Amino acid sequence: MNVITNIADLVGRWFAPLVLLGGIAGLLVPEQASLVAPHISLLLGVIMFGMGLTMRPVDFAVLVKHPKAVIFGILAQYTVMPLLAWAIAHTLSLPPLLVVGMVLVGSAPGGTASNVIVYLARGDVALSVAMTSLSTLLAPLVTPLLVLGLAGSTLPVPAGDLFVSISQVVLLPVVAGLLLRMAADRFVERILPAMPLVSVTGIVVVVAAVVGANADAVLSTGLLVALAVVLHNCLGLGLGYLVGMAVRLPETARRAISVEVGMQNSGLAAALATAHFAPLAALPGALFSVWHNMSGALVATYWARRVPEGTETGTRGADQNP
């Protein structure tokens, strides 16, 4: 178990480069990588189950202690990113399938790696965990409605099928993981150190599969889609921070909301695009998976060197439980 834990720690530290290597592998051996595409939903379900194992009922205590931060954070999550995705896609005149792909990314819940980034950035980890958990639980209802409203005029959107898929791939595995954690906490605590290995491997394989299935599109339109993804992520990080500033939240909460808004569960977006639209619609999700982990690492590095206002030097705030 110690060997597995050490490997898990290693892949966790090298998450962004590994995801990038997954994308490169998809380009180098597209036929082999694309064979995994039909199984993306299963892989994502495993990742979401692992996320559920990390959750505890106490993680939602911040809803009672700091409801303002959670409410505005979730509102920003499900307004800023969807609207940015729609605006950027149309500004760059992306084709319909890529518009849908961008909107899917923008309408997804918070990214699975965001809590780690917030911790490294000296942000409010409790708020980050609550936002990720709550946005994930709301996703089966909110994500299909947002995609229908923003992309329904571009392509037919099967909102009902999206609801079922998100419930199966996200909600049920997360709830199952949470219930197992409650029923067998000691056992789960023993295997938790190995979970980053499962999550990182799953995300790398998903990125490789999506890129492999869209290798020609990546080579022909990849730069334009990459520009859209970088703009989407960077503006999301900036606007998320400004939302926290506008409602007068402390610096640690602003950092948490910034990361939660800017980092999306792009693996879910890619899975939904592959299952309900076409492989091309999954391309924004795949590129977002690569980029937002790299930008998240850069943001964490920048903020890690700056002590948040209102906290003592070397601490991460009273409400944070890394």
pLDDT tens digits for 249-268?
999 999 999 999 999 988 88
Please report, for residues 15, 52, 132, 204, 283, the alpha-carbon distance to residue 18 in angstroms, rounded to integers and kept in the order given: 5, 23, 23, 7, 18
Average pLDDT over residues 174-183: 89
pLDDT of residue 313: 43
What are residue 312's phi and psi, to 5 degrees? -75, 150
Give the C-alpha separation, 269 to 141, whole Å.
15
Tell me which amino acid residue 180 is: L
126 by Cβ neighbours in 10 Å (0-12 / 13-18 / 19+) ranks as: buried
- Write out the DSSP string of 256-274: HHHHHHH-B-HHHHHHHHH
Supply the mean pLDDT for the chain: 84
**Beta carbons of 76 and 259 less than 8 angstroms apart:** no
Tens digit of each residue's pLDDT (9 = 90 or more) over 15-42? 778 878 888 888 899 888 888 878 878 8
pLDDT of residue 311: 62
Q: Does residue 319 carry a pLDDT above 50?
A: no
Give the C-alpha separation, 271 to 279, whole Å.
9
Tens digit of each residue's pLDDT (9 = 90 or more) over 67-125? 899 999 999 999 999 999 999 999 999 999 999 999 999 999 987 778 778 877 888 88
**Beta carbons of 284 and 221 less than 8 angstroms apart:** no
Please report, for residues 84, 117, 119, 140, 179, the alpha-carbon distance to residue 162 in angstroms, rounded to integers and kept in the order given: 21, 29, 32, 7, 24
- The runs of H, that is alpha helices, within 214-265 are 215-246, 251-262
Give the C-alpha separation, 268 to 109, whole Å.
9
Going by pLDDT thresholds of 50, 70 and 90, the confidence category of residue 189 is confident
315 Cβ contact partners less than 8 Å away, ≥ 6 residues apart: none
In sequence order, what E strands does 49-198 have? none
Q: What length does the chain have?
A: 322
Q: 172 by DSSP, 3-state: which?
A: helix
Going by pLDDT thresholds of 50, 70 and 90, the confidence category of residue 48 is confident
Phi-psi region of 37 (alpha: psi -120 to 50; beta: other; left: phi over 0): alpha
Q: Does residue 175 carry a pLDDT above 70?
A: yes
Selected residue with higher pLDDT from 125 and 145: 145
Give the C-alpha separation, 309 to 318, whole Å.
13
Phi-psi region of 160 (alpha: psi -120 to 50; beta: other; left: phi over 0): alpha
Q: Does residue 318 carry a pLDDT above 50?
A: no
pLDDT of residue 215: 80
What are the chain's domains?
39-304 (1.20.1530.20)
Predicted structure pTM score: 0.80
- Degrees (nearest 5) of the Cα angle 200, 294, 245? 115
